[in-house]
């Protein structure tokens, strides 16, 4: 049977140097968790850890590039050595690069596959061998509502997020039987340094603290899929169900025009 609701213990959050991962780490530490945070930016991680000294829990920095498979395994080992078993892993690290057909190149696909998709796979490769024998542990895989259906400029990003959604759906039945809880997190637009670069309107843009609160509530629930904001999630689910001609009539309106 899958693990029950989360209680403060040891958590590991990747992609925690800014944005949603950082805000979630702060909320979990305030609730008493010992939070190990990872990202490539070691300075920002240490600043995050220093700022958490007065919280009920604690934040500890573990700088990491998740594209380095051996380094991911070493980091999981170090966290469990120093703070005990990882009760909750949040595989949040990822990046985005827009892709236009008229400027198509393979480089963004390779980079985002290495980070968003294979980086998450490396984390699972390190976590499952330690969680499965003890039949305990919770893992949240952060994908995106952009993984529901192909959207203009998101060919590379959406491809990786759709892959994460499919992988999570494929793994969940077996992990349920093994005593682990796997959750899939599909955020919409959240105001972060990454989305601040977007040159297009972002419907239902959510403040990062509000998004992190919704994220944390979802982690404490029994739901497989955690989505926010719900209105944008509803629209994207509807788009996924539309017949192709109707869906393309909608997404064609989102194609950037030459200026």
Nearest to 66 by CA among 4, 8, 124: 124
Encoded tokens for 5: 């609701």
- Are β-strands 34-38 and 10-14 bridged in parallel, bridged antiparallel, or unpaired? parallel
Active site residue 148: no
Tokens of 185: 């997190």
Per annotation, catalytic residue among 148, 157, 189, 216: 157
Q: Give the whole-angstrom CA distance, residue 159 versus residue 125.
A: 21
Identify which of 50, 86, 62 has the alpha carbon closest to the alpha carbon of residue 14: 62
The 10 Å CB-count burial string (b at 16+, else e) for 106-141 is eebbeebbbbbbbbbbbbbebbbeebeeeeebbbbb
Going by C-alpha positions, the residue among 49, 43, 42, 9 that lies closest to residue 26 is 49
Residues in the chain: 259
Looking from the CA of 258 toward its CB, the CA atoms found within 13 Å total 3
Cα gap 136→87, rounded to integer Å: 7
Residue 99 carries which DSSP code? B
The CA angle 244-236-111, to the nearest 5 degrees, is 90
Determine the Cα–Cα distance for residues 220 and 33; give it in Å rounded to an integer.
Answer: 13
Active site residues per annotation: 157
């Amino acid at each position: 049977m899958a693990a029950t609701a989360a209680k403060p213990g040891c958590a590991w959050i990747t992609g925690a140097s800014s944005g949603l991962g950082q805000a979630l780490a702060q909320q979990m530490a305030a609730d008493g968790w010992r939070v190990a945070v990872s990202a490539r930016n070691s300075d920002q991680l240490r600043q995050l850890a220093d700022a958490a000294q007065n919280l009920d829990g604690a934040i500890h920095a573990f700088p990491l590039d998740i594209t380095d498979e051996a380094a991911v395994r070493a980091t999981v080992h170090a966290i469990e050595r120093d703070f005990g078993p990882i009760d909750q892993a949040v595989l949040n690290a990822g990046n985005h690069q827009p892709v236009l057909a008229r400027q198509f190149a393979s480089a963004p696909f390779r980079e985002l596959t290495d980070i968003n998709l294979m980086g998450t796979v490396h984390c699972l490769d390190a976590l499952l061998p330690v969680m499965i024998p003890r039949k305990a542990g919770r893992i949240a895989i952060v994908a995106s509502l952009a993984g529901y259906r192909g959207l203009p400029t998101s060919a590379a990003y959406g491809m990786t997020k759709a892959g994460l959604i499919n992988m999570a759906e494929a793994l969940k039945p077996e992990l349920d039987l093994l005593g682990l809880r796997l959750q899939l997190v599909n955020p919409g637009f959240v105001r972060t340094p990454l989305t601040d670069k977007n040159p297009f309107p972002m419907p239902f843009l959510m403040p990062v603290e509000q998004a992190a609160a919704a994220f944390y509530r979802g982690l404490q629930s029994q739901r497989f899929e955690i989505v926010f904001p719900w209105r944008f999630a509803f629209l994207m689910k509807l788009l996924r169900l539309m017949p192709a001609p109707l869906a393309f009539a909608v997404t064609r309106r989102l194609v950037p025009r030459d200026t």
